[in-house]
Amino acid sequence: MPDPLELRQVAIAYGETPVVQGMSMVLGSGEIGCLLGPSGCGKTTLLRAIAGFEPVREGAILIRGEQVSRPGYTLVPEKRGIGMVFQDFALFPHLDVARNIEFGIAHLPASERRSRVNELLHLVSLPNIGSCYPHELSGGQQQRVALIRALAPKPALLLLDEPFSSMDVDLRENLAREVRQILRSEQTSALLVTHDQSEAFAMADRIAVMQEGCIRQWDSAYNLYHKPADRFVAGFIGQGVWLPLLRDSTGVLRSEFGPLFPDTVEMPHQSKGEPGGEMVLEMLLRPDDVVRSEDGVPAEVIDKSFRGAEILYRLRLPSGTDILYITKGHNDLPVGTSIPVSIEMNELVLFTAE
């Protein structure tokens, strides 16, 4: 079975202004992907091109192995075998829930339509709302209905355009997890657009981090966080600071915390230093890499953010370098407190100093 979605060096422009360029990726069968990036990076434009609403200037878009977009040719959206869930749900207000769901399967016999509607309503644990109208439902219920309406025809691919952006944080994260389970139950491949990292992490198997119309890294959430491909990904995913390091002539990395990682480590691809010579580097230090240690470096609490189960602290080292430190919510440290800290980390992210 061909992959549900393949992009081959896709470029899209509005007039003479390039919006997406050199975009290549493959979404596997049953896989949930995500386009993640800051506003204006081309996420929604690319999704619209996959849906058939925007032409491509270069490259090709394939759905289940069939070219649906290439320069000079754009297969219309209704013939692409895809489903789409919009940010505003786009439910028909004059139709009840059952008829909204039936909209995309009107070609089936009535008995099959009713069976599919009942199956999907049970899937989202809303078996008794078929006769309700959209305005009678909560936002979360409307989103579930919009989802199963898109799933009703069993599309080859489901596209979701920031589907949870109008919801509060708790509902958004819970619904993202629910949607993932529903897509798994239906064995449907999907591509999500969002600028919310928590939403992307909760739903996607692989995430494309985008910047200025290009994919910087297409990878799992774990690898994006622990093994970023470049500085942009490192800075965009999660939180962290850059800690100055010096690699001495023996290969030992030295920092304000003392010698680090005395064994041989892989140097950044951008390294310009001579083999065996000194090299100035920067290491990405995450809040969870910093631990309290009695024989550590003294650090002063200069700011903190209470998050319920956790507290995120900004600490200042004797050199004036600020680092982040996260701990349990009941470990409350007043601003001005000095605590000894050290570093414990399994993944080393190094870049040449800017």
Tell me: the pLDDT tens digits for 251-289? 788 899 988 764 445 555 444 445 556 888 999 999 999
pLDDT bucket at 176, cuts 50 / 70 / 90: confident
DSSP state string for 228-256? -SSHHHHHHSS--EEEEEEE-TTS-EEET
Which residues are bridge partners to 259 per DSSP?
Answer: 254
pLDDT at 267: 53
Residue 111, pLDDT > 70, answer yes
Residue 95, pLDDT > 80, answer yes
Secondary structure of residue 175 in the 3-state scheme: helix
Residue 43, pLDDT > 70, answer yes
pLDDT tens digits for 195-207?
Answer: 889 889 989 999 9
As to burial, measured by CB atoms within 10 angstroms (0-12 exposed, 13-18 middle, 19+ buried), residue 223 is middle
68-82, 238-252, 267-281, 331-345: lowest mean pLDDT where?
267-281
pLDDT at 150: 92
- Mean confidence (pLDDT) of the chain: 90
How many residues make up the chain in this entry?
Answer: 354
Token pair for residue 133? Answer: 């109208």
pLDDT tens digits for 158-172?
Answer: 999 988 776 777 777
| Spatial contact of 200 and 192, defined as CB atoms under 8 Å apart | yes
Q: How far apart are CA 268 and CA 125, in angstroms?
A: 50
Q: Which CATH fold topology does 5-235 show? A: Rossmann fold (3.40.50)
Q: Among 3.40.50.970, 2.40.50.140, 1.20.120.790, 3.20.20.70, name the CATH number for the domain at 241-352.
A: 2.40.50.140
* Count of other CB atoms within 10 angstroms of residue 226: 17
Whole-structure pTM value: 0.86
Give Cα separations from 302 to 199, 305, 337 (angstroms). Answer: 30, 11, 8
How is the chain split into domains, by residue range?
5-235, 241-352
Q: What is the number of alpha carbons within 13 Å of residue 48 lying toward its C-beta?
A: 14
Q: How far apart are CA 129 and CA 112, in angstroms?
A: 18
pLDDT at 272: 44
Residue 7, pLDDT > 80, answer yes
Distance of CA 320 to the CA centre of its chain: 33
Q: What percent of the chain has pLDDT over 70?
A: 94
Integer-rounded Cα radius of gyration of the chain: 25
pLDDT at 71: 97
Q: Which helix (H) or strand (E) holds 279?
A: strand 279-285
Strands, sheet with 241-247, edge to edge from the N-terminal-most edge strand:
258-260, 253-255, 241-247, 279-285, 350-352
